[in-house]
Structure formats: C-alpha cells, structure tokens
Amino acid sequence: MPLIEAQPDALARLYANSLFALADERGGQEAIESTGAELGEVIEMARADRRFNEFLSSRILPTVKREASLRAIFAGNVSDLTLNFLLVLNAKERLGHVAVIAAAYDELVQERFARVEVDVYTATPIDKAMLDRIGETIRRTMHKEPVLHPYVDTSVIGGMRLQVGDRQIDGSLSTRLRRMRERFAESGSAELRVRLERIIEEGTERA
C-alpha cells in the first residue's frame, strides 16, 4: 500500500499543528522551516523509492521493527524533532499518512509567513523576467509572498494556467476554446443561429 496523498483532513491537521507548535517553541521560523524541509525530503525519498514507500506505509511490518529501522536511517540525518515525530506516527500506525500531514504542515507555514504556493503552467519554458512579473502581480494583489513553481504543459496553448493555493486561474487559449465548444454544445445550433442573425441584422443596418 503506497503513501496516502490527499487533501489534509482534521486528523492530519491535528498532527501538523502539534508538530508546528513544537518547532515554533524550539526555534521559531528557522526550526519551523527546517522541520518542513525534512518532512519534504522523507516524502520525496518515498516517492522515488518504491521499497521505501512500502516500508513506511506497510501494515504488515511490526511497528517495533520499523522503529529500529527509522532510527538507523534518520538518526543524525534529521533533527531530533523530526525523528521523534516519525516515531510517534509509526507508533500510532499513521506513518502512511505522513504526506497528508506534511501538506497540512505546509499550509500552516504558508499562513504564518504570508506565503502562497503558485504553480505556473506554460507550453514552453518560461523565462525569469516573466516569472518575476507574475510574482510581482500576485504580491501586489494578494499581499502575500509567492513561491513560484514553473512547469511545462504542452496542452496549454497560448497564455498560461496558474494554480494559486487552492484556486485555479486559467487564461490559456486552449481553455477558452474548450469553454466556447462547451457553450455551443450546451445551447446547440439555436444559439449559433441567433448570433448569425444578429450579425446579419447589424450588417444590414449599417448598409
């Protein structure tokens, strides 16, 4: 069974809040951010290595054996806070939910430091100047510091698609064309006929 990756639920937020409070108590912003980064590294390891993913999320492996392995892998490589948190999740049989908990933790980080994650999708690689313009626009309109993640998506034709937090802003030509096709499909030929008649009438009046 792979790691569970979904929107954070109430229990994930409870774990995330507890970890966030401990990190804040131990070292403020620096500890908060480093703890989040360490959790992110654990998750990336799981995504890159199927066996490690299964090790974290397996319900068959006894928690005692997994605890010993967790200590061997992470002791000295992550902070005591992060290691202890992983051990708690293991003891509670919630280690398979670490990705969801990390997502909830990241939400707390963004909220505390007035940041917002922004995914930028374009058909071809975007240059730094354009990224800077996007960042400045978001900074000015949302009063938050954007963390930009550019991606290439060949399905985007003209313009770009932005994912700002949980909101999508789609200004691509491909999407505008798709919506136009959907409107015509919904209203059928009647709307098209009305539009054509209107155009003809306007042309006749001008003549």
Q: Rounded mean pLDDT of 147-164? A: 82
Cα(32)–Cα(39) distance, rounded to whole angstroms? 11
The model's confidence at residue 120, banded by pLDDT at 50, 70 and 90, is confident
Query: What does the pLDDT read at residue 147?
Result: 84
**pLDDT, mean over the chain:** 81
Q: Rounded mean pLDDT of 65-84? A: 93
* CA-closest candidate to residue 155, choices 172, 134, 179, 136: 172
The model's confidence at residue 206, banded by pLDDT at 50, 70 and 90, is very low
Cα(90)–Cα(164) distance, rounded to whole angstroms? 33
Predicted TM-score (pTM) of the model is 0.62
Please say if the pLDDT value at position 131 is more than 80.
Answer: yes
Please give the backbone phi and psi of residue 145, each rounded to the nearest 5 degrees, phi first.
-90, 115
The rounded Cα 184 to chain-centroid distance in angstroms is 33
**Which DSSP state fits 8?**
-
Query: What does the pLDDT read at residue 19?
Result: 96
- The two three-digit tokens of residue 6, written as one number: 């979904």
The β-bridge partners of 107 are none
Please say if the pLDDT value at position 121 is more than 80.
Answer: yes
Cα(158)–Cα(10) distance, rounded to whole angstroms? 39
Q: Rounded mean pLDDT of 137-158? A: 82
Q: How far is CA 175 from CA 102, 134, 162, 178, 186, in A?
A: 32, 19, 12, 5, 16
Instruction: Report H helices in the chain.
Output: 10-48, 50-57, 63-74, 80-91, 98-112, 128-142, 173-206
> pLDDT tens for residues 13-27?
999 999 999 999 999
